Amino acid sequence: MDFKQIEAFVWVAEMGNFRVAAEKLHTTQPAISQRIAGLEASLDVRLFDRSARGIRLTEKGQELLSHARRILTMRSEMLAAAGQSSTIRGLFRLGVAETLVHTWLPQLMDRLHRRHPALVVEIQVDTSHTLRTQLLGHQIDMAMLVGTSNDPREQSLSLGAYSLAWIASPRLRLHGRNVPVSELGNYAVITYPAHSVPHQAVKRVLQDAGVHSPRIFASASLSTIVHMTKLGMGPCVIAPDVIPEELASGGLRLIKTDTVLPEIGFHACWLDSPDAHTAKVVARLAQETAQDYRQGLP
């Protein structure tokens, strides 16, 4: 019995699938099957029942799973006690909301490279809705996104919040005065997808202002939102922090309105598991980087 066999047992039980567990452990399905067979032989028990409908833990497998989890957790804790950097290596799949890409993500990547050079980070940029789905499906190891979930497996650290604002091209002549939200309803408003916090906030404030059928152009791409806004297609609602150059140059202008938009709070989220040590280290460094960014530190 070795750690690779125990690791395979835990992740096949977690994923409910040999192929997906193999992808998680960066190996092949036959290798995972071989490790499980070896563990079953050494323990002289059957861990999984296999059928055409899939696999499920046997009664003995369910009993042994908690022991296997503790073994992997103790191994991670021992390696961490011996030297944190020794455990931070290999491939780490990081999901990131685009707002963070345009603010402090480059600083985080630089710090990760300098502190943990053996860690290879694979970045997936997407909407918070998609990233959460990927996290719960074990397609990524950590997600930096808006909000948290009620899933008991999820752990998180706060990464701070961004204010939202109405922004428009100067050609719309909406800047330099207080603009009623009802007037903004004459335009197509550009913002994030329908399930996002900004989209829901925009729809709500427009309807509260008497705009019964607001036109909202939704895009998962921040660059697309900015480009459409520059063309004068309508005002947008995004975080001003992501476009400092455009606002400084006057290419885009902040709009004063008679309503307050909510902030969007970001979190580093990961699933509790025996190999979550790396996620915790990355999350703490992300939190530190976000705090330094807000304070104007390099």
pLDDT per position as a tens digit, 137-160: 888 999 999 999 999 889 999 999
Residues contacting residue 47 through CB under 8 Å, at least 6 positions apart: 9, 36, 39, 40, 57, 58, 60, 61, 64
71 and 201 share one domain: no
Instruction: Calculate the alpha carbon distances from 27 to 19, 88, 96, 188 in Å.
Output: 9, 19, 25, 49
pLDDT value for 82: 67
User: Last residue of a domain, which of 82, 107, 138?
Assistant: 82
CA distance 136 to 2: 28
62 and 92 share one domain: no
155 and 272 share one domain: yes
50-54 contacts at long range (C-beta below 8 A, 24 or more positions apart): 54/16, 54/17
For the chain, state the CA radius of gyration: 24
Assign residue 234 a region (left: φ > 0; alpha: ψ between -120 and 50; beta: otherwise): left
**Weakly modelled stretches of the chain, pLDDT under 70:** 79-87, 298
This prediction has a pTM of 0.79
Range of the domain at 50: 3-82
78 and 219 share one domain: no
pLDDT value for 243: 96
178 and 156 share one domain: no
pLDDT value for 16: 86
pLDDT value for 217: 96
157 and 269 share one domain: yes
State the CATH number of the domain containing residue 169: 3.40.190.10
Interstrand relation of 165-168 and 236-238 (parallel, antiparallel or unpaired):
antiparallel
254 and 174 share one domain: yes
pLDDT value for 87: 59
State the CATH number of the domain containing residue 65: 1.10.10.10
User: Last residue of a domain, which of 23, 51, 82?
Assistant: 82
CA distance 297 to 107: 10
Quick one: how many helices (H) and strands (E) in the chain?
12, 14
pLDDT value for 156: 96
Number of structural domains in the chain = 3
227 and 190 share one domain: yes
30 and 65 share one domain: yes
196 and 212 share one domain: yes
User: Last residue of a domain, which of 21, 48, 82?
Assistant: 82
Nearest to 101, CA basis, from 162, 146, 160, 144: 144
Percent of the chain exceeding pLDDT 70 equals 97
157 and 170 share one domain: no
8 A C-beta contact, residue 49 and residue 239? no
243 and 269 share one domain: no
Instruction: Calculate the alpha carbon distances from 214 to 67, 153, 238 in Å.
Output: 56, 38, 17
